[in-house]
Structure 1
């Protein structure tokens, strides 16, 4: 894709096509000034819904996540979005509670069918939650949303933006260590804090320990020393503040929680931003 074509993408709205716990759309809309204007390659190592990526629309990007099914979905939408949309139309036509569980229990063979299943389940499950059982099988119950295709969808433009993107199912350290001077790294890890939940939270099918938080901090310090621009979002907790206060500027931000069964139980939370620019 030519740079002029990428510039044309900037005048078109590209919304995240997935709903994801901890998604950062609020960051891009409420605090856009925290994001850099000039950088070389964009790196995002806990991709999820990719809200920051879709807002910034970088000319070159490396996007990664441990969730192989998630990365595969992005890859298929980049390379074969028309077939995915065709299958989403099929899911829309047949959607019901029984159909949802039929699709949830299915094991598609083709890449387009796998990607369409992933998007369909995300849009019609409870609160867009991604959760798997010990066997790695998606086990979120059906939700109240019935729209499989949305007015805000623009898969053709989304695919075009992803053409200049390297997609990796990989550990964050492997990816961050590839970033060079002038590159921008955005990291939004699982919000593990010391002495909370025994020091770990479920991250996809893996476990994200407090030791991983320390390892992430060390990776980002190394990247900062190489001349990379770094922005991290994390829990505003004393243990996290202590982890980053000597190496990064810290900013406390407010956001609303969206993952709760009842909207009246959703409230405002403090999050921490660590940055070096």
Structure 2
């Protein structure tokens, strides 16, 4: 099952490898929602999914609350003539019409994502979505994906918050998975961007949360900076397909790391290996 959105850095392709490193827990916390591929491919009892991009979270909230309404509304836009003129009209409406309901805004966001160039999500400094028309012959309408998402979203809470705020909400039994904009690649998913200072700040928070006993898993580029930032984590190097941030002739693949915090004792919890080689935490009685 693919995701509702096309998304740079979508984790669907690497889930067979990533899932090996995600420990069991009562709730998976994701400060960077992205395509929600990890939520869709895992089976945690509960999820806290956050992102600083309000349009992304609005789409997920609308899909969770009323999948049929979203499908009906979005199909109106998908049924229009598939050309640059229609695309630019809808993009202008999305950027300038302050009277749009949350449902229509979610439907337009989905339309723009599936019709724009490479499914990019990019905003200018004024907060306007500015990705050009993709000129695809038959943009895919994710009907089945929306229905599947809504079914899974019963277990999830979606919030618009930055990573700092989200990581302050951790509670006993949580597992953290972070998929921030990668070091050295595209980072304009939001007007604020994601700077090298953010990379340092995020890593410092995750280091602290790890020392408190929360299992933490992080994806990022395989660079000297990420090796330094996550030097106290176990780093697994993988090769992944990438459509952006790869030099011509590189075969559209790039090295990434999956950084995994080392298990530790905390607040009476014991790490125990379970049959699928995940780590779970059980309260001592």
Asked if these proteins are the same fold (TM beyond 0.5), I'd say: yes
Structure 1 unmatched ranges of 5 or more: 1-12
Q: Deviations over 1:26-59 (max 9, x none)?
A: 22134432222x2111101111111111111422
- Structure 2 vs 1, CA of residues 180 and 226 (structure 1 numbering), >3 Å: closer, same or farther? farther
**Matched position secondary structure for 2:50:** strand
Q: 2:227 aligns with which of 241, 247, 256?
A: 241
Equivalences for 1:96-245 in 2 at 5 Å? 96-97=82-83, 98-106=85-93, 107=97, 109-145=100-136, 146-150=138-142, 153-192=144-183, 201-245=187-231
Distance between the aligned counterparts of 1:221 and 1:267, measured in 2?
A: 31
User: Greater relative contact order (Cα 8 A, min sep 6): structure 1 or 2?
Assistant: 2
Whether the aligned pair in 1 keeps the contact of 2:46 and 2:155 (CA below 8 Å) is yes
**Matched position secondary structure for 2:188:** strand
- Structure 1 residue 150, shift from structure 2 partner: 3.8
- Structure 1 residue 147, shift from structure 2 partner: 2.5
Q: 1:44 aligns with which of 30, 34, 37?
A: 30
**Matched position secondary structure for 1:233:** strand
Whether the aligned pair in 2 keeps the contact of 1:120 and 1:148 (CA below 8 Å) is no
> Which 10-residue stretch deviates more, 209-218 or 141-150?
141-150
Structure 2 unmatched ranges of 5 or more: 264-285
Q: 1:33 aligns with which of 8, 17, 20?
A: 20
Q: Deviations over 1:226-251 (max 9, x none)?
A: 22111001111112101111x21111
Distance between the aligned counterparts of 2:92 and 2:176, measured in 1?
A: 37
> Which 10-residue stretch deviates more, 231-240 or 202-211?
202-211
> Which 10-residue stretch deviates more, 125-134 or 87-96?
87-96
Q: Deviations over 1:67-125 (max 9, x none)?
A: 01111111111112211100222122213212111111113611111111000110111
- Structure 2 vs 1, CA of residues 17 and 201 (structure 1 numbering), >3 Å: closer, same or farther? closer
Distance between the aligned counterparts of 1:188 and 1:59, measured in 2?
A: 20
Equivalences for 1:57-68 in 2 at 5 Å? 57-68=43-54
Whether the aligned pair in 1 keeps the contact of 2:3 and 2:145 (CA below 8 Å) is no
Tell whether 2:87 aligns with 1:92: no
Q: How many residue pairs were aligned?
A: 256
